[in-house]
Homo-oligomer: A and B are copies of this chain.
C-alpha cells in the first residue's frame, strides 16, 4: 500500500521517474474495471461510493477509490474527507482511497488520474471507482476515463433540468436516483424515462436505478447494472476499443507534457531563442523550432 501511495504521488508530481516506473510495472499490467460516479454536490455520491465499496469487499474484490476535484487547486478539504474515509478502511489492504486535487495544473489531473488507474491495475486492484467532487467539466473527463459512468441524481426537479443543460444525458451509462426515500423520486424517474425515450441513441439503453445509500438499499441492483453494461461493452467489442482509446489519449497527454517541459527548458537555457520570442511574439514558430531540434 505504501509503495502504491508513493507511486501515485510521483505521478501527481509529474516526477520524471514515472518513465522508469512504467517499465518496471510493464509485466504486471492488467486492466481494472473503471466505474465513474458523477452528479451534483449533495446527491450523496460519497455515501453511495462507500456502499459500493462495502458490497465489493463482501464479494471478495479489491477496490480503489480516486476522488478527483478538478475545480479545487488546493487539496485541504479533499484530504480531510480522505482521512476520515481512510480510517474506516485502515486495516483493509484491499481498499485504497485517494483524493486527487488539480494542484493548479490544468490538464494535469486528467493525466495523473489515467496513470493512477494504470498503477492500480499493476498493483492488482480489481475495481477502480472514480468519484468527482464539485461541478463542471469533471463529468466529461470522468466519462472519458471510465468504462461505465453512473450519473447520480436526487428526487429534485432542479437536478434533472440541470442535467439536460450540461449534456450529461450523453455520458450516462447508468442513472441512479439516490435518496429514493424522499418525496418526488417517482417523478424524477418518470421524467428520466421520458427523456431517455426521446434519445436517438442506439445500442445500450441506460437503465434507471433507485438507491438509498445511507441505508444500503439498492446497491446490489446498481452494481448488477454496472456489470450488465460491462458485458455489453465486452460483447460489442467496445471494451477493447475503449482500452486502446485510453492508451492513445494517455500517450497524447504524455507527449504534450514532455513538449511543455522541453519548451520551458529550451527557453531557460537559450537566451537568444527567448529574446527572439519576446521581440517577435511568435509562440508558434518558437514551439515548432524547439520540437524539431535534435535531442
CB distance from A279 to the nearest CB of B (A): 9
| Interfacial chain B residues near A247, Cβ < 8 Å | 277-278, 281, 283
The reply to whether A19 and B285 contact each other, CB–CB distance below 8 Å, is: yes
The reply to whether A281 and B29 contact each other, CB–CB distance below 8 Å, is: yes
What's the tally of chain A residues with a CB closer than 8 Å to chain B? 62
Contact status of A251 and B118, CB under 8 A, knowing A104-B140, A256-B260, A260-B256? no
| Interfacial chain B residues near A166, Cβ < 8 Å | 72, 74
In the complex, A227 has a CB within 8 A of chain B: no
| Interfacial chain B residues near A72, Cβ < 8 Å | 136, 166
The reply to whether A282 and B243 contact each other, CB–CB distance below 8 Å, is: no
* A79-87, A172-180, A287-295: which lies at the interface: A287-295
In the assembly, how many copies of this chain are there?
Answer: 2
Contact status of A254 and B26, CB under 8 A, knowing A70-B137, A107-B106, A243-B278? no
Query: 8 Å CB contacts to B: which residues of A74-131?
Result: 74, 77, 102, 104, 106-107, 110, 118
- Known contacts A248-B274, A256-B256; 18 additional CB pairs below 8 A are A19-B288, A73-B167, A102-B137, A106-B141, A244-B274, A247-B278, A252-B264, A252-B267, A254-B263, A254-B283, A254-B284, A254-B287, A255-B262, A255-B287, A256-B257, A258-B259, A259-B260, A262-B291
Interface pairs A-B: 7 shortest CB-CB: A259-B259, A71-B136, A256-B256, A255-B263, A255-B287, A254-B287, A255-B259
Interfacial residues, chain A to chain B (CB-CB below 8 A): 18-19, 22-23, 26, 29, 70-74, 77, 102, 104, 106-107, 110, 118, 134-137, 140-141, 165-167, 243-244, 247-248, 250-260, 262-264, 267, 274, 277-278, 280-288, 290-292, 295
